[in-house]
Structure 1
Amino acid sequence: MTDRADDGEQTRDDRRAEAIEVLEANRRDGYTVPSETLYPFQWNWDSAFIAVGLAGVDPAAAAREVETLLSATWPNGLLPQIVFWADAEGYFPGPDEWDAGFDDVETSGISQPPVVATAARRVYETTGDDDFRDRVLDPLDRHLSWWRRERSTDGVVYTRHPWETGMDDSPAWRLPLERFDPGDVAYERADRKSAELADQRPTDWDYDRYVALLRQGREAEWDESVLRGTCPFRVEDVLTNSVYVRACEDLAALYASAGEDASAERWREQAEETREGMRERLWSDDLGLFVSYDRVTDEQLLEPTVAGLVPVFGGVPTAAQFERLHETLTTDFFAFEYAAPSYVGDDFAPDRYWRGPVWMNTNWLLERGLRRYDATDAADRVRADSLALCDREGFREYFNPRSGAGRGSDDFAWSAALYLAWTGESQR
């Protein structure tokens, strides 16, 4: 394990100052873009992770980040993956491609893991601002209710696009994507800014299917009652469900702080219902971790991804499951210079997006969850490796777990924000 903490507090303080500078440079009117060069709009779970980090250094900006995102909640409760607050000319897929949103708010037509509830709770507990809490309760409730109403039959929620999972080109999606022919989909990609970056991004084979799924949703006018019976990608993503469980808990805590006990109990019960479903359907004893589930073919997607460790964030594993999961973590995911790679299976690619690199956001979810299970040594390893990567390479989008080399976009907002969260005085 590599740890840069012994290089001195001045180095750590300097890096914190740089993190704040990255966030300020990426700040727009009420929100923060993930990356000026690659992701120039507001992204759902990016803003949530950014608010987590901002809460300790600029709580007013953190609160505004959350509220700006929630202001884009659709009338039906969907909180979109992307909000196009600015001109999107030249970006693909832009608002014309999606043809989604409401009133004058242009958005994508899919969501992302609801980290926003966790961010909102963190902001509230940092500030004690009852007015902020009261403003966010309704949109958070509507959004989590949307997941339960539109994307679940028994408490375990499903996603219908790889982009919606956040882990876009994870090998876990290979089988669901192989199952359908995207047909002739003409488009021009805008995510390849250089030859080096192109080699790290999803392939055209993947992108054809991403675009085909997008256009199917657009043709259905984003009507979930139509898409739940026709969309060829309907996957109970283990990471989304893990975050959803925690979101239900966090919303319950916010309601409890407001004295709304009945609402708090309702969301506690929802969290437990989803936990039980995950323990039963998403656990793989063979792999020793949780996996996603294909609702179309009724089968587990048996790929060893970091998402399979993240259920600790929501308190999902039983004691026996956690014992096996911890063994898998230390044996397979800690078998690298830097933890925790996003994938450790046969198609491991240390520089390619979600097929092997270390990401700060999944490390944060994992580290927080490990502390919930009192796995202090493992949590310390994840935290120390995360800080070492940023100390060494700066705030890159993702990192090679063998060499530590930074990859993807630079000046990446959630890497900077989570560095601030990890190095702050309070380890929540």
Structure 2
Amino acid sequence: MRVDVSKIPFSYPGSYFAINRMGTYEDEPEGLYIRSLHKDVYRQRVARLVLLHEGNPVPFAEEASAASIALRSEFGSAVICFEDPTTLQVQTENVSIRFEFIRASHVVPYGAKQCEVNSDGSREHIRLTSAAGDLIVNTSWNGDNADYVNIDFAPSAGATSAEGALELYRDSITWKERTYSSFTDSLQAATDLFEAYEQSALPLPERYSEARQLAVYLNWMVQVRPYENITRPTMYASKSGMCGIWSWDHCFHAMAVAEQDPELAWHQWMLVFDHQDQFGALPDTITDNYLVRGYVKPPIHGFALKWIMEHTDWVTNDHLLEAYPSLAKWTEWWFNHRDSDKDGMPEYHNGNDCGWDNSTIFADGMPLESPDLATYLIIQMETLETIARKLGMLAEANSWKIRSQQLFDNLLEHFVDEGRLKARRAGNHEFVESKSLILYLPLLLGEKLPKGIRDRMIEELKVEGAFLTEYGLASERLDSAWFEEDGYWRGPIWAPPMFLLSHALSQLGEEEFAKDLAGRFCDLVAKSGMAENFQAKTGRALRDPGITWTSSIFLLLGSKYA
């Protein structure tokens, strides 16, 4: 497997560091960089990697796999692997490797084989230790700070190779003395770790073997360890651009790893509830250093928890006792704090709240009552009913059952217009005309939906050239006046609705159509990669090129429906 580090970074489970090829930015030239994923930094780029031959920089090409990244030139090469989430091991052959630190304030030598760099811009301290060869410190002082700090691992006179370790740490100004493994041992350990993870991941048809390996790598390396706001081991949305957790992405990640690593899935699902506010709302976004509470995300959490419960027996009553009050509080929040006209139908106050940020259902304004939100809440209350019965809380279970049925009845009364489901403006209750795919998500309600409504929706989804393209379902009908090739939720194909609708159709007995949709999307990912979304007509990758809900849903669809 080869990883294109201009799109998907080379990283390691638990790590907040990655290696990427990056373009020119301000005074930072194009090149291969060690990056910090922490969100409190002035400079994300920690150090640029340079190969030297006889003291001069030479061109190189990088070749990355799950366990290592090699920098290869016509003169020799350097190979880098992770020993642990904060330590990189380096081995060179016939060349030296230089770390050009970005805006480092100073460097302090500790004998001939070790030095410490203060990388003020990225808030990291870096301890570099030579295990074989020479450690060469290059710097100049301007009376206040260093003009530059370059550190080389170089072969000693008469030798051809060098080896060393680079450790990044930020929680103390003081380095804790330690020893490092050899490069060979670290590389073997990283190789074994990935191979074990790959073997336990969801199986896919053979034709997707190469894409599966890349998806598994992405889900493997995108994990981060607990740190500040990250209260549990979890998976980031990306280690490319979207370095953080969004409060519905995490549900798809949890479902994708539930059978492989149910404990990780549980922490992935629960983490957002660690930051639930006093009223029951969940943050929109969580990173290690900040929370975004300006928006929320849709209540898909009940659907996800139901999936995890059905696909693993790992979830015990103790886990459910932990989850139940938080999920109930989140559900109540929508009725108590997102119903401005008090009609019993919760509403979105912004497109960001529903995850489909600029969907055309929001084109006429806010607040908006939408059938997808009611659908999520109906399923969430059904999940709460199931949990309450498991826990022997029969009165609460019966209450959730009654309330979910009431909301379903309200959905049919509220959103059906001329045999279709439509969104409505809260307050004046005017219907909103839209050709967004989001209006088909109520198929998740299955046979509860009146047959005429669901049959019409299914037939409309089957029409080639309407929503359906060679690559899957466009987020906006292709004949819509609002359709844009790179319009975010106004045209491109996205992983979440592809999974949700494939699942819904399968549950409704439309197995062949579900299989067809899953196959189209999996073929798209195998062709175009793990991008955030895709151009509906051509399949071209758009936006963040390495995002975890695409890899997660590729694994789910390929395993369960394709």
Q: Bin the TM-score by the shorter chain.
A: 0.7 to 0.9
Give the match for residue 69 of structure 1: 272
Give the match for residue 22 of structure 1: 218
Matched residue SS, 2:363: helix
Return the offset for 1:256.
2.3
Q: Is the 8 A contact 2:422 2:439 kept in 1?
A: yes
Report the Cα distance in structure 2 between the residues aligned to 1:170 and 1:139, rounded to whole angstroms.
Answer: 29
Give the match for residue 127 of structure 1: 313
Report the Cα distance in structure 2 between the residues aligned to 1:129 and 1:243, rounded to whole angstroms.
Answer: 22
Q: Is the 8 A contact 2:518 2:558 kept in 1?
A: no
User: Letter of the aligned partner of 2:215 in structure 1?
Assistant: A
Report the Cα distance in structure 1 between the residues aligned to 2:561 and 2:319, rounded to whole angstroms.
Answer: 22
Larger mean Cα displacement after TM superposition, 288-297 or 316-325: 288-297
Matched residue SS, 1:309: helix
Q: Is the 8 A contact 1:83 1:108 kept in 2?
A: no
User: Letter of the aligned partner of 1:129 in structure 2?
Assistant: V
User: Is 1:38 aligned to residue 38 of structure 2?
Assistant: no
Report the Cα distance in structure 2 between the residues aligned to 1:142 and 1:335, rounded to whole angstroms.
Answer: 38
User: Is 1:293 aligned to residue 390 of structure 2?
Assistant: no
User: Letter of the aligned partner of 1:166 in structure 2?
Assistant: G
User: Letter of the aligned partner of 1:267 in structure 2?
Assistant: W
Q: Is the 8 A contact 1:367 1:380 kept in 2?
A: yes
Give the match for residue 312 of structure 1: 443
User: Is 1:323 aligned to residue 512 of structure 2?
Assistant: no
Q: Is the 8 A contact 1:162 1:168 kept in 2?
A: yes
Aligned positions of 1:382-397 closer than 5 A? 382-397=517-532
User: Letter of the aligned partner of 2:337 in structure 1?
Assistant: E
> Hey, which of these two has a bigger chunk of strand by percent?
2
Give the match for residue 165 of structure 1: 354
- Cα RMSD over matched residues? 2.1
Report the Cα distance in structure 2 between the residues aligned to 1:259 and 1:39, rounded to whole angstroms.
Answer: 41
Give the match for residue 142 of structure 1: 329
Extract unaligned runs of 5+ from structure 1. 1-7, 89-105, 177-232
Report the Cα distance in structure 2 between the residues aligned to 1:389 and 1:116, rounded to whole angstroms.
Answer: 27
Extract unaligned runs of 5+ from structure 2. 1-203, 226-232
Aligned positions of 1:273-292 closer than 5 A? 273-285=406-418, 289-292=420-423
Report the Cα distance in structure 1 between the residues aligned to 2:544 and 2:454, rounded to whole angstroms.
Answer: 34
Q: Which has the higher contact order (CA 8 A, sep 6+)?
A: 1
Give the match for residue 229 of structure 2: none
User: Is 1:368 aligned to residue 503 of structure 2?
Assistant: yes
Percent sequence identity over aligned pairs: 20
Report the Cα distance in structure 2 between the residues aligned to 1:155 and 1:313, rounded to whole angstroms.
Answer: 21
Going from structure 1 to structure 2, the CA distance change for 1:269 and 1:13 (only over 3 Å counts) comes to farther
Report the Cα distance in structure 2 between the residues aligned to 1:362 and 1:335, rounded to whole angstroms.
Answer: 12
Report the Cα distance in structure 1 between the residues aligned to 2:353 and 2:505, rounded to whole angstroms.
Answer: 25
Aligned positions of 1:211-360 closer than 5 A? 233-285=366-418, 289-315=420-446, 317-331=449-463, 333-344=466-477, 345-360=480-495
Q: Is the 8 A contact 1:80 1:111 kept in 2?
A: yes
Q: Is the 8 A contact 1:356 1:400 kept in 2?
A: yes
Report the Cα distance in structure 2 between the residues aligned to 1:161 and 1:240, rounded to whole angstroms.
Answer: 13
For residues 150-181 of structure 1, the C-alpha deviation after alignment (integer angstroms, 9 at most, x for no partner) is 223344210111110111111221211xxxxx
Return the offset for 1:249.
1.6
Which protein has the larger Cα radius of gyration, Structure 1 or Structure 2? 2
Q: Is the 8 A contact 2:467 2:475 kept in 1?
A: no
Report the Cα distance in structure 1 between the residues aligned to 2:337 and 2:389, rounded to whole angstroms.
Answer: 26
Return the offset for 1:330.
1.8
Report the Cα distance in structure 2 between the residues aligned to 1:385 and 1:347, rounded to whole angstroms.
Answer: 24
User: Letter of the aligned partner of 1:81 in structure 2?
Assistant: D
Give the match for residue 79 of structure 1: 282
Report the Cα distance in structure 1 between the residues aligned to 2:369 and 2:325, rounded to whole angstroms.
Answer: 26
Return the offset for 1:263.
2.0
Report the Cα distance in structure 1 between the residues aligned to 2:334 and 2:452, rounded to whole angstroms.
Answer: 29
For residues 176-234 of structure 1, the C-alpha deviation after alignment (integer angstroms, 9 at most, x for no partner) is 1xxxxxxxxxxxxxxxxxxxxxxxxxxxxxxxxxxxxxxxxxxxxxxxxxxxxxxxx21
TM-score normalized with structure 2 length? 0.58
TM-score normalized with structure 1 length? 0.75
- Of 393, 398, 412 in structure 1, the residue corresponding to residue 547 of structure 2 is 412
Q: Is the 8 A contact 1:396 1:415 kept in 2?
A: yes
Going from structure 1 to structure 2, the CA distance change for 1:257 and 1:13 (only over 3 Å counts) comes to farther
Q: Is the 8 A contact 2:248 2:297 kept in 1?
A: yes
Length, aligned pairs only? 344
